[in-house]
A and B are shown apart, each in its own frame.
Chain A
Amino acid sequence: MSEALSIMFWPLIACLLLPGILVYYGLHIVRREIIFVDLALAQVAALGMCLSILLKHEPHDWQTYAWSLGFTFIGAAIFTLTRNENHRVPQEALIGIVYVVAAATAILLLSQSAEGDEELKRTLVGDILLVRPAEVFQAFGLYAVIGVIHYLFRKRFLLISFEPERATAEGVSIRWWDFLFYVLFGFVVTSFVHIGGVLMIFSYLIVPAICANLLAQSLRARLVIGWLTATIASIVGLYVSYKKDLPTGASIVCALGAALLIVGLLWRFIPRAKRS
């Protein structure tokens, strides 16, 4: 066990510290019914990474981070401008298109690079096993700042996500708060894509939020359930990865999937009267 702990120490710390903010964002995103926006933004961030690699920067250079972030902001701007714009073009469709085009462009770019296939795989499942302590602390510091901003302006953020009609009625600038929401989200996504990859960030955002929505009503209870789900699934995923010697990122994603299955079954068998 002590060996497991020493080998999986930094991945474990990363998986305990970082998903906190992802779970919170997940609740917003599930509520807004823009489930794939994170997948699309993560893929756009990965596209920035690919371009940077093609420009001969290393994956861990600050230039790579800057490219990723720049691309993510462009994505954020697109999604802000298209919210509820036109019902003939559902936003979900645009989100899907952004994802697919970003993924295809990444393939085109990386076909020009010698390490292309490997980098492509890395943008998907990341490198959580070999995460460096500095990366974890940098991301955590950033997430703490973003968490504070969200806490300070929680009323605005919750209003535009959970009650957009009321926000309009009260004269809150949805567009501005939306953009801020996406910009902060862009930082969250970019940092985590570098550590965990596209699949992992999607799972941490959506699975705990869905579990929480099934089991609880109030935001506070949902947050607690979401964090519990993320933490338990992380530990199980890391342990299975160590015990069975499997790729770590994919193990955690599957553990999150299993968590949803279990919660789903629980929900099914809780008497209907107790729900609502």
Chain B
Amino acid sequence: MKMMNRIIGAMICLGAVGQPAFAKLNVVATTPDLGSIAAVVGGDLVSVTTLAKPTEDPHFVDAKPSFIAKLNRADALVEGGADLEIGWLPALLDQARNNKLQAGAPGRIACSQGVQLLEIPAALDRSKGDIHAAGNPHFLTDPENARIVAQHIAEGFSALEPKSSAVFQSNLKQFLGQLDAKIAEWEKLLGPYRGQQVVAYHDSWPYFAKRFGLKIDLFLEPKPGIPPTPVHLAEVILRMRAEHIRPILVEPYQNRKTAQTVAAETGAVVVDVSQFPGGVKDTEGGYLELVDHNIRSVAHAFGENKGTTAEK
């Protein structure tokens, strides 16, 4: 054991000597949307690795050995918080044994802080499905929340590396400038469809709906997280026909076939959207490209002539 400690000690010394004077801040992000924003804010001064794949359900991420290694070496952890990662992150952190990432440590950056969360339950009741005690954690579907999150991340990085604070602030300013321009563009794109209804597979879009004045209150899942049942789908189809609802939002890890069946019955359009850059084609660029894709796809679905059903 003593020998082992000595070897490990020697390796740490070697590692320290081998590193450049200005080592990058080693950042781990739980999901790709957070990773993308963290990379923009950190710029050249941080290296960001993301744990969840963009096509993975953020609530259920398969733990792999490399996750523990990455968390063990990280200087900072950017997480969504609000119980988004509760099913998988705590056990990984236990194994990683990294004091820098402990709850309350400056290296632990929980992005839900400062965000006005929706759907906070009055009483927790599991019979209502996969309910979130802290409120709905899918807050980045509203681009206005990206402003809060980016600011929060910049503050977090500045606290860890005060001497680089100016760089983080200038990166942040640039990102917020782009975001403002984009939000104006997006408001214009979806403006004509205010008040219209959209169906979603899962209740991941309340923030998106609120921002753009859409009504997304009909879901293919009977309760959040419970797979669609025939009786529930029949009701959804009836309501969609009666109210002429067109877009059905489906994310990569949800069952597209179910949505296609419903679309075929109702003449609706299946819209492939994602909460994560890279989750659908041509969104690999980052958060802004992703939201751009989502909004253009929804606007396109509203604008399409009736009678045409799902593409692909």
What residues make up the interface of A, taking CB atoms closer than 8 Å to B? 2-3, 6-8, 10, 56, 111-118, 127, 129-130, 132, 241-242, 245-248
Closest 8 A-B residue pairs measured CB to CB?
A114-B225, A114-B130, A130-B91, A245-B66, A118-B60, A242-B65, A114-B129, A7-B68
Evaluate contact between A130 and B129: CB separation under 8 angstroms: no
Q: Which residue of B lies closest to A244 (CB)?
A: B65
Residue B69 CB within 8 A of the other chain: yes
Q: Which of B3-11, B188-196, B272-280 contacts A (4 or more CB under 8 A)?
A: B3-11
Q: Which residue of B lies closest to A245 (CB)?
A: B66
A2-B8, A7-B65, A129-B68 known; 18 other A-B pairs, CB under 8 Å?
Answer: A2-B7, A8-B65, A112-B226, A114-B226, A115-B60, A115-B130, A116-B225, A117-B227, A118-B60, A127-B91, A130-B63, A130-B91, A130-B94, A130-B95, A132-B91, A245-B64, A245-B66, A247-B64
User: What CA separation (Å) do A208 and B66 show in the bound complex?
Assistant: 29
Residue B72 CB within 8 A of the other chain: yes
User: What CA separation (Å) do A248 and B62 show in the bound complex?
Assistant: 10
Complex interface: chain A residues within 8 A of B65 (CB): 7-8, 129, 241-242, 245, 248
Interface residue count on the B side (C-beta < 8 Å): 28
11 pairs, CB–CB < 8 Å, chain A vs chain B? A3-B69, A7-B65, A7-B69, A114-B126, A114-B226, A115-B59, A115-B130, A116-B225, A116-B226, A117-B227, A130-B94
Known: A129-B63, A242-B65, A246-B64. A118 touches B87 (CB 8 A): yes
Evaluate contact between A116 and B63: CB separation under 8 angstroms: no
Residue B223 CB within 8 A of the other chain: yes
Residue B224 CB within 8 A of the other chain: yes
Complex interface: chain B residues within 8 A of A112 (CB): 226
Q: Choose among B63, B66, B223 the residue that contacts A127 (Cβ–Cβ < 8 A).
A: B63
Complex interface: chain A residues within 8 A of B94 (CB): 130, 132
Complex interface: chain A residues within 8 A of B72 (CB): 3, 6-7
Known: A56-B126, A115-B130, A118-B60. A2 touches B225 (CB 8 A): no
Q: Which residue of B lies closest to A2 (CB)?
A: B8
Known: A3-B69, A7-B72, A7-B95. A115 touches B63 (CB 8 A): no
Q: Which residue of A lies closest to B8 (CB)?
A: A2
Q: Choose among A116, A129, A246, A248 the residue that contacts B227 (Cβ–Cβ < 8 A).
A: A116
Interface residues of B in 85-120 (CB under 8 A from A): 87, 91-92, 94-95
Evaluate contact between A115 and B95: CB separation under 8 angstroms: no
User: What CA separation (Å) do A246 and B94 show in the bound complex?
Assistant: 20
Q: Which residue of A lies closest to B125 (CB)?
A: A56
Evaluate contact between B62 and A114: CB separation under 8 angstroms: no
User: What CA separation (Å) do A112 and B92 show in the bound complex?
Assistant: 27
Q: Which residue of A lies closest to B4 (CB)?
A: A2
Complex interface: chain B residues within 8 A of A111 (CB): 226-227
Evaluate contact between B226 and A115: CB separation under 8 angstroms: no
Question: B124 to chain A: closest CB distance in Å?
Answer: 10
Q: Which residue of A lies closest to B73 (CB)?
A: A3
Evaluate contact between B64 and A129: CB separation under 8 angstroms: yes
Interface residues of B in 1-47 (CB under 8 A from A): 4, 7-8, 11
Question: B97 to chain A: closest CB distance in Å?
Answer: 8
User: What CA separation (Å) do A117 and B228 show in the bound complex?
Assistant: 13
Question: A108 to chain B: closest CB distance in Å?
Answer: 12
Complex interface: chain A residues within 8 A of B226 (CB): 111-114, 116
User: What CA separation (Å) do A44 and B260 show in the bound complex?
Assistant: 36
User: What CA separation (Å) do A157 and B209 show in the bound complex?
Assistant: 66
Complex interface: chain B residues within 8 A of A245 (CB): 64-66
Question: A7 to chain B: closest CB distance in Å?
Answer: 5
Q: Mark B221-259, 1 if CB is under 8 A from A, else 0.
A: 001111100000000000000000000000000000000
Complex interface: chain B residues within 8 A of A130 (CB): 63, 91-92, 94-95
Complex interface: chain B residues within 8 A of A242 (CB): 65
Question: A212 to chain B: closest CB distance in Å?
Answer: 30
Question: A247 to chain B: closest CB distance in Å?
Answer: 6
User: What CA separation (Å) do A130 and B93 show in the bound complex?
Assistant: 10
Complex interface: chain B residues within 8 A of A248 (CB): 65
User: What CA separation (Å) do A242 and B66 show in the bound complex?
Assistant: 7
Interface residues of B in 63-89 (CB under 8 A from A): 63-66, 68-69, 72, 87
User: What CA separation (Å) do A118 and B253 show in the bound complex?
Assistant: 13
User: What CA separation (Å) do A113 and B131 show in the bound complex?
Assistant: 11
Q: Which residue of B lies closest to A10 (CB)?
A: B95
Q: Which residue of A lies closest to B131 (CB)?
A: A114
Q: Which residue of B lies closest to A112 (CB)?
A: B226
Question: A200 to chain B: closest CB distance in Å?
Answer: 15
Complex interface: chain A residues within 8 A of B91 (CB): 127, 130, 132
Question: B256 to chain A: closest CB distance in Å?
Answer: 16
Question: A146 to chain B: closest CB distance in Å?
Answer: 27
Q: Which residue of B lies closest to A125 (CB)?
A: B62
Complex interface: chain A residues within 8 A of B92 (CB): 130
Evaluate contact between A2 and B64: CB separation under 8 angstroms: no
